[in-house]
Structure 1
Amino acid sequence: MNQANVKVSFYLKKSEADADGMCPVMAKLNVGKYSEAAFSAKLRVPQSMWNSGRASGKSVKAKEINNRLDEIRAMALGIYTELSAVRDGVTAGDVKGLLLGMAGEQATLLSYFRTFINNFAKRVGVNRTEGSLRSYRNAYNHVERFLAKKYNLLDIPFSALNRSFIDEYDSHLRTECHLAPGTIINLTVHLKTIVGEAVADGIITTYPFAGYEPVHPKQKKKYLTSEELQRIMITPLHKPHLYLTRDMFLFSCYTGIPYSDMRNLSKEHLSLADDGTWWIKSSRKKTGIEFEIPLLDLPLRLIEKYRDTAPDGKLFPMYCNSMMNIYLKDIARLCNINCPLVFHAARHTYATEITLGHGVPLETVSKMLGHSRIETTQLYAKVTDDKINADTRVLNERIAEQFSVVI
């Protein structure tokens, strides 16, 4: 539907004239033949000055009134154009709602997104990370480019967001940006967060993501099996930087501590319990949640191996994460491990092979990993087939001992 089907007219509400003959000016908006809405223009005009929907005469007052009426008409038409660019069935009520203040500074998507990012930036270093901030900025840039390319718009009212818009955005990321499914999930999750904040603020009442489910990437094994772990431990590497990388990776495999937290470990994080067990006690850089991990023999030997080799009292002399990942791929080739090995795989290995695979309860693993919700731990902890088979055999033996049946 084009603007020719949209009409904005003005009339006086004479029934509410005051003692001086001043009447409220009302606006009537028609979209097509059947959609109509009326609202106050927030002006009062003398009946004697009104003629055919405008203030008559050439006085300064008449010019001011007519300029304001022209502004309201232009705003209504502009809002209709933006709404109809992204969805069908725009009603006069939709336009009225935005015109009466719902499309203020924070009621358009990108404007609200910018405010969210600015507030998020203030919390970096307190309870948010620089990496998360970069991720939100990247998501903003993708939405901005989508609006410009698909609809030729600089911004869009929240009320224009519907399931069709979400599906178009998903398709744009998939077919035009050629992004991987995992990347698309991250971008749409960030947009979901912004829309969810707007719903919580009362800006919109309909959740446009209802029923939307992005295509999930095919799950890949993110942990090492015990046999692969053994290969890394015994295969000659011949180069000092590969041995250091291997040792740092193994420490993470046997403690579950991720790279960002591991590089900050220092002597003050070591604690000796009354029973002689050494613990690492620290808090996650990402979330601030505390974690406590009893140290197995291998991590203890690695701490001793690198004692006093790192500056500022740190436990380990670590390369940057990107270099670690490059070296880990070299190690994977040498050890005939057929997967793109990255440092974070160590944390998955700890959850799956080292702890759950040896009967440590999920609740205990969750606490040691520093998770606030056990659901997060379940994403890391993929129970292996060997563990399932072993548990099933134990269950079968217990049942056989307790029950017998004559067949």
Structure 2
Amino acid sequence: MNQTNVKVSFYLKKSEADADGNCPVMAKLNIGKYSEAAFSVKMKVPQSRWASGRASGKSVAAKEINNSLDEIRAMALSIYADLSAVRDGVTADEVKKLLLGMACGQETLLGYFRQFISNFEKRVGVSRTEGSLRAYRNAYNHIERFLHWQYRLSDISFAALDRSFIDKYDLYLRTERNLAPRTIINLTVQLKTVVGEAIAEGIITTYPFGGYEPVHPKAVQKYLTAEELRRIMTTPLHRKTLYHVRDLFLFSCYTGIPYGDMRRLTKDNLSCAEDGTWWIKSARKKTKVEFEIPLLELPLHILQKYRDAAPGDKLLPVYCNSMLNLYLKEIARICRIDRPLVFHQARHTYATEITLSHGVPLETVSRMLGHSRIETTQIYAKVTDDKINSDTKALNRKILERFSVII
């Protein structure tokens, strides 16, 4: 960045003088030798009161005009500094457009992000969660640190965002912050959301994420196979606490209810239909979407087992999530399951191994899971498609081993 290449000067457009001899004041912006742009500064000065690119005299009007011209020059240099810090080849026309926008209240990235978070806070508990709010605050902090680390800037104009900025931010998160691919995806999605809001409000018109594709983490099977589930159900554990954790995990495996919703279940959520089927009816804490689940024999047995152990009107006595995951890792070792085991895998297991793999329609599974969009459930369906594909290949190998065809 070399601001000696930038020159801002002012002159009168004498050809448009009015009847009183007042001429429009024009600004001329030069960057280097070949990039030039001119624009009106929306002021008029008598030709007799103009000298050396400024209003002459010591009147209050002259001082106000000159102060405004100084502010325009300072804004032009600041915009050029922001843009050239991010990329080369900044043109005078680009600075002009941003300058005219800034005069009308042009937003900066972090300034707008702060306002976004402030509006988000007001919706927490209504249509947004505290966890999502923390995630946006975390994303803000990462961008703030990135601007200081990469450009030595405390903020940046929205128009300075382009594909180069996004690529540098991605690289910073991967190398300087050493974050996992999934975390980087989450952070860039949060930035996309804020940028999308700014585009919807007409603050910016160019989408800086065009063509950007973050590095995706290696696909990991999140659901338990039938064999792994069998081991958890039948392997002796020898400790009461581990049996308790196993039962909570299996309850989620056979209902699809995640930890946050399971710990909130009360006796009011349990009801019996006319045909004798017991149901759990509740709403997702995360999305407020209602769900209804008919209970299979195993989760009914677990509810009966802990009927007198749950506090108050709760259906189940539940440990904190971190303790559950710690005990599940011990259970995985005992059951010879050679991959990390966390509680949320139970929900994936219900969707994939318990329901979709056994022919339960996608729409039914979506309703039981409490998904607001069926596209979310299709994530599990894709896993099932992969499983069917591998199972079909295994079947094909067995058939080829048993039968031969003479051609």
TM superposition shift of 1:205: 1.4
Match of 1:254 in 2: 254
TM superposition shift of 1:173: 0.8
TM superposition shift of 1:19: 3.6
Contact kept, 8 Å, 2:21 with 2:46, in 1: the verdict is yes
Match of 2:141 in 1: 141
In structure 2, relative to structure 1, the CA distance for the partners of 1:114 and 1:385 (3 Å cut) is closer
Tell me whether 27-36 or 204-213 shows the greater mean CA deviation. 27-36
Identity between Structure 1 and Structure 2 (%): 74
Say whether residues 1:88 and 2:88 are aligned partners.
Answer: yes
Distance 1:392 1:171 in 2: 39
Contact kept, 8 Å, 1:303 with 1:315, in 2: the verdict is yes
TM superposition shift of 1:305: 1.4
**For 1:314, what is the secondary structure of its paired residue?**
coil
Tell me how large the CA RMSD over aligned residues is: 2.1
1:17-96 aligned at under 5 Å gives the runs 17-96=17-96
Which amino acid counterpart does residue 48 of structure 1 have in structure 2?
S
Distance 1:99 1:294 in 2: 62
Distance 1:48 1:162 in 2: 45
Distance 2:143 2:380 in 1: 30
Match of 1:404 in 2: none
Match of 2:2 in 1: 2
Contact kept, 8 Å, 2:303 with 2:316, in 1: the verdict is yes
Distance 1:124 1:103 in 2: 34
TM superposition shift of 1:103: 7.3
Distance 1:104 1:283 in 2: 45
TM superposition shift of 1:6: 1.4
TM-score normalised by L of structure 2? 0.92
Count of aligned positions:
397
In structure 2, relative to structure 1, the CA distance for the partners of 1:84 and 1:292 (3 Å cut) is same
Distance 2:203 2:92 in 1: 18
Contact kept, 8 Å, 2:98 with 2:106, in 1: the verdict is no
In structure 2, relative to structure 1, the CA distance for the partners of 1:105 and 1:114 (3 Å cut) is farther
Match of 1:122 in 2: 122
In structure 2, relative to structure 1, the CA distance for the partners of 1:338 and 1:106 (3 Å cut) is farther
Tell me whether 201-210 or 232-241 shows the greater mean CA deviation. 232-241
In structure 2, relative to structure 1, the CA distance for the partners of 1:224 and 1:368 (3 Å cut) is same
Contact kept, 8 Å, 2:270 with 2:279, in 1: the verdict is yes
Which amino acid counterpart does residue 237 of structure 1 have in structure 2?
L
Match of 1:403 in 2: none
Distance 2:389 2:54 in 1: 80
Distance 2:106 2:312 in 1: 46
In structure 2, relative to structure 1, the CA distance for the partners of 1:392 and 1:171 (3 Å cut) is closer
Which amino acid counterpart does residue 349 of structure 1 have in structure 2?
T
**For 2:30, what is the secondary structure of its paired residue?**
strand
Distance 1:165 1:242 in 2: 49
In structure 2, relative to structure 1, the CA distance for the partners of 1:105 and 1:287 (3 Å cut) is farther
Match of 2:404 in 1: none
Say whether residues 1:380 and 2:380 are aligned partners.
Answer: yes
| Unpaired segments ≥5 residues, structure 1 | 396-406
Match of 1:194 in 2: 194
Match of 1:265 in 2: 265
Distance 1:349 1:75 in 2: 57
TM superposition shift of 1:66: 1.4
Distance 1:346 1:47 in 2: 80
Say whether residues 1:290 and 2:270 are aligned partners.
Answer: no
1:272-287 aligned at under 5 Å gives the runs 272-287=272-287
Contact kept, 8 Å, 2:24 with 2:44, in 1: the verdict is yes
Match of 1:356 in 2: 356
Distance 1:119 1:73 in 2: 34
TM superposition shift of 1:72: 0.8
Match of 1:222 in 2: 222
In structure 2, relative to structure 1, the CA distance for the partners of 1:201 and 1:244 (3 Å cut) is same
Q: Deviations over 1:235-263 (max 9, x none)?
A: 22222222221111111100111111111
Distance 2:206 2:102 in 1: 14
| Unpaired segments ≥5 residues, structure 2 | 397-406
Contact kept, 8 Å, 1:102 with 1:203, in 2: the verdict is no
**For 1:23, what is the secondary structure of its paired residue?**
strand
Distance 2:387 2:92 in 1: 63
Which amino acid counterpart does residue 109 of structure 1 have in structure 2?
L
Distance 1:389 1:101 in 2: 57
TM superposition shift of 1:387: 4.1
Match of 1:169 in 2: 169
TM superposition shift of 1:104: 6.3
TM superposition shift of 1:380: 2.8
TM superposition shift of 1:44: 2.3
**For 2:38, what is the secondary structure of its paired residue?**
strand
TM superposition shift of 1:365: 1.0
**For 1:45, what is the secondary structure of its paired residue?**
strand
TM superposition shift of 1:384: 6.8
Contact kept, 8 Å, 2:251 with 2:298, in 1: the verdict is yes
Distance 1:300 1:103 in 2: 66
Contact kept, 8 Å, 1:277 with 1:294, in 2: the verdict is yes
**For 1:237, what is the secondary structure of its paired residue?**
coil
Distance 2:349 2:394 in 1: 24
1:326-365 aligned at under 5 Å gives the runs 326-365=326-365
TM superposition shift of 1:210: 0.8
Which amino acid counterpart does residue 119 of structure 2 have in structure 1?
N
TM superposition shift of 1:37: 2.0
Q: Deviations over 1:57-114 (max 9, x none)?
A: 2333322221221111111011101111101221222212221234766621111111
Contact kept, 8 Å, 1:352 with 1:384, in 2: the verdict is no
TM superposition shift of 1:392: 8.7
TM-score normalised by L of structure 1? 0.92
